[in-house]
Structure 1
Amino acid sequence: MPPKFGTSGLRGLVTELTPDLVASYVRAFVAACPQGSAVHVGWDLRPSSPAIAEVVLQTVQDCGLTAVRCGTVPTPALALAAMNAGCGAVMITGSHIPADRNGLKFYVPSGEVSKEDETQILAALDALPSLPERQGKLEDHPTCAADYVARYTAAFGDQALAGMRIGVYQHSSVARDIMVAVVQGCGGTPVPLAWSDTFIPVDTEAVDPETRSQLAAWCAEHELDALISTDGDADRPMLADASGAIVPGDVLGPLTARALGADVLCTPVSSNSMIGQMACFATIKRTRIGSPFVIAAMEDLLDENADTRVAGYEANGGFLLGFAAEAPAGPLAPLMTRDCLLPVLAPLAAARAAGQSIAEAAAALPPCFTAADRLQGIEQDRSGPFLAQLKQDAAARAAFFDSMPAEQDTDHTDGLRVTFEGGAVVHLRPSGNAPEFRCYTEAATPQAAQDLLHTHLGALRNRLG
């Protein structure tokens, strides 16, 4: 699959992300979008990222702008630094996908690029302007990661996690040291686990059974109160309770929003429906899947009323803060890009303050449960026609969902989401940035959601290979 824009920027095989292609996209980005006085550049820990970063840094200078080298930092840390400076940014990352792939995430001074920005970048690719004679400068930003840590240690304080033993599954996350520092800075005892010199594509929304078993073993062995991790570029969190059971991202989102006092939520159609039963949220806006769509919905609400206490989150756990919130030890400025630390810290700190475990806090929410996983290696030329047939043909849906009760409703907001009599949901969708096909399920019990997922992943394997 050639490199293309998806729900998280440009993605493709490393072999196809040639220096010329990368330079062309960066030049188109500079030509099509506002940048301020500089472009900040960061990258993740996959082997191909440093070389791609050098191409990006040089291209920014070739465009006559200052290139700010931020180094190996989380995507939200890079976004925070660039937005605070009123500058654009480029993050080199493939997020959670395998190391043979990589990509670019683009930021304008106000935050992530929109779908409209992406359209303008693609148009600029066809007519790149000439490069100026003047070369831009190269500068370093040595405190980018430290500033990100300070954002949370200052807001939550040194007692937020006091008395808690928190495992930190480090693997190849670009935030592996940052997570340790933040837990320590908030009064907890970090227990670093499984540092890896090899890139591991952790998908926090589709954790494999072997990893789940390992999390449970670590929790028991080290007597942990919780265990945290992130995906490769640290814009998606993973939080497990003391038993090693993962708290889903669409549970972390509402817990975080409630803890911070948000009363308006924007979240994709794939997120848990329980939020409709939570009285603390006055307004809920459902979107297509992908942070650009969540941000667009948040911005629309803020345009109507700048004082709206709006938060956004995705089913993968990435959290977006749209208002100035009060954390346990101080103010927390808005950060409208997908973040990993806030949806870990806020639920843990709130549960501790209430005298609860994180498992107890999650169990107190309305009883609606989700599960998600994906088939890998499924190109859209196979999945597209299959999904189109299901959308258009009720008989085809009945045949595919033959183990389910009668169909009650269908939603085509993003992929195909089918609600059945009794309330169970199965949602099918091709990935927007990788050769994957995702399946989301929802049911009244965790086991029922997992059973639905197992059944329909098997059916998808039979149909798609």
Structure 2
Amino acid sequence: MAPKFGTSGLRGLVVELTPELVADYTRAFIRACPTGGTVMVGQDYRPSSPDIAEVVLRTIAAEGITAVDLGTLPTPALALASLTAGAAAIMVTGSHIPADRNGLKFYVPTGEITKHDEGAILSALGQPPAETAPGRIEVRTDAGARYVERYTTAFGDAALAGLRIGVYEHSSVAREILKETLTALGATVVPLGFSDTFIPVDTEAVDPETRALFRGWCAEHGLDALVSTDGDADRPMVTDASGEVIPGDILGALTSRSLGARVLCVPVSANSMIRQMPDFERIVATKIGSPFVIAAMEAQLAADPTAPVAGYEPNGGYLLGFTAQGPAGLLAPLMTRDCLLPIIAPLAAAKAAGLSLADLVAALPPRFTAADRLTEIPTEKAKDFIATLRDDPGPRDAFFAPTGRITSVDLTDGLRLSFADGTVVHLRPSGNAPEFRCYVEADSKQAAAEVLALYLDKLAARLR
């Protein structure tokens, strides 16, 4: 795919992310957005990331400001370091997409870039290198430790005591930090599945083979839970003791309840069971993507700076907008997608209640989601298909006839349909990859899985 740019950053095929293109976007970011005079740079474990990071670092220094090389670390650890230092940041990562692709994520000193920043960066492309004295390139190795400390301080050394937790290491940039943090919180950690090659883990679309692997590991090693992340570690993955993957929006609801959040900002695709939970006073539905969640959180905080506001996405990435009280100490806000908090908080809450993680989940209102994606779907073809279903009731009713009568149509992001039997089907082309996503919500896990399989087959027949 040709490189694409949006609020999730720049993504494209590695062969098309040329040094010239990477330098152009880096210069444009520096000239269009505040940096605080410093830009911190992190990277994931993709084989192309070191070379791209080197171009980014050299370009920053050539612009006359300080470049700080933080090496390989989770995206939220980079964001925490930059926010703490009042500096900008660039993460070299393609997130969950395959290793033949990569990208850049941009952070200003106050957090993720906005839609306004996106436009400013695009307008600043194509400018020549600066004619100025070069800045310096520094190397720092403490950002990961500060990220771990954030959670050990808030949860304490006994929060997970007695739990046996597997860590699916694969090529996650958080694999060492996960092991270190869980051990510091008292858990016995079992490392599993280390890989020297990059594995594109999508926490919203875990394939059947991987799910079977999880079930086998949990049984073989007697695990209370198995945890992991996507490649750049801004999305968590958690299973219960049986190896059953817990959806990210369930982790988000459990985390929010345990921290005392009262106002939730979540994408329209998030499980609606939170509307049945007495723990939350207000639910704000947004378009899909962390920039939209952050904008909604900021609006809520502008109206009431003391509001206990949190946000999360169905992929599990969690955003904390208030100072929360953990079991052992305070947890400062971090309004960027985080993987560690939605892993730790549900496990700690289950242990404190004397429950298994599966029991904690089972006590929630009975609404179930399922999601997956089709890959290698041309974006324009996907958008045209959505437009046809959106604008013409005839093709829409025909395509969704197996599920019955449509009772409402939500166009917040893509096409989200509610049916007379309570089922919800949500179709949406990805904004930064050639993928087409399908989300389903139903009153039983089996029904959600069956409806998802039905429409993935129908979509594949229409779009491939």
> TM-score if structure 2 supplies the norm length?
0.99
Percent identity reads: 63
- Structure 1 residues 442 and 217: CA distance shift in structure 2, 3 A: same
Give runs of aligned pairs for residues 407-426 of structure 1, distance below 5 A: 407-426=406-425
Deviation at 1:129, TM superposition (A): 6.1
Provide the secondary structure at the position in 1 that maps to 2:401.
Answer: coil
Deviation at 1:7, TM superposition (A): 5.0
User: Could you report, residue by residue, the CA deviation over 1:282-341 in whole angstroms, capped at 9, with x for unpaired residues?
Assistant: 011100000000001001111111111100000000000000001111000000000000
The question of whether the paired residues in 2 share the 8 Å contact of 1:160 and 1:349 is answered with: yes
Counterpart position of 2:345:
346
> Stretches of 4+ moved more than 6 A in 1?
none
Counterpart position of 1:234:
233
* Distance in 2 of aligned mates of 1:13 and 1:245: 33
Counterpart position of 2:312:
313
User: Could you report, residue by residue, the CA deviation over 1:172-202 in whole angstroms, capped at 9, with x for unpaired residues?
Assistant: 0000111100110000000000100010000
Counterpart position of 1:5:
5
User: Could you report, residue by residue, the CA deviation over 1:90-147 in whole angstroms, capped at 9, with x for unpaired residues?
Assistant: 0000000000000000000000001110011001115x26503210011111101111
Give runs of aligned pairs for residues 43-442 of structure 1, distance below 5 A: 43-126=43-126, 128=127, 131-442=130-441
| Range with greater deviation from structure 2 (346-355 or 129-138) | 129-138
Provide the secondary structure at the position in 2 that maps to 1:433.
Answer: coil
* Distance in 1 of aligned mates of 2:196 and 2:306: 45
* Distance in 2 of aligned mates of 1:205 and 1:7: 20
* Distance in 2 of aligned mates of 1:132 and 1:279: 59
Point out where structure 1 has 5 or more consecutive residues left out of the alignment: none
Aligned-residue RMSD, C-alpha = 0.8
Provide the secondary structure at the position in 1 that maps to 2:319.
Answer: strand
The question of whether the paired residues in 1 share the 8 Å contact of 2:75 and 2:234 is answered with: yes
Counterpart position of 2:19:
19
User: Could you report, residue by residue, the CA deviation over 1:71-106 in whole angstroms, capped at 9, with x for unpaired residues?
Assistant: 000000000001000000000000000000000000
Provide the secondary structure at the position in 2 that maps to 1:77.
Answer: helix
* Distance in 1 of aligned mates of 2:246 and 2:218: 14
Provide the secondary structure at the position in 1 that maps to 2:316.
Answer: coil
Point out where structure 2 has 5 or more consecutive residues left out of the alignment: none
The question of whether the paired residues in 2 share the 8 Å contact of 1:31 and 1:129 is answered with: no
- Structure 1 residues 7 and 459: CA distance shift in structure 2, 3 A: farther
* Distance in 2 of aligned mates of 1:404 and 1:449: 12
The question of whether the paired residues in 2 share the 8 Å contact of 1:7 and 1:433 is answered with: no
> TM-score if structure 1 supplies the norm length?
0.99
Deviation at 1:6, TM superposition (A): 3.6
* Distance in 2 of aligned mates of 1:278 and 1:166: 28
* Distance in 2 of aligned mates of 1:249 and 1:53: 30
* Distance in 2 of aligned mates of 1:223 and 1:206: 25
The question of whether the paired residues in 2 share the 8 Å contact of 1:32 and 1:120 is answered with: yes
* Distance in 1 of aligned mates of 2:363 and 2:420: 25
The question of whether the paired residues in 1 share the 8 Å contact of 2:69 and 2:139 is answered with: yes
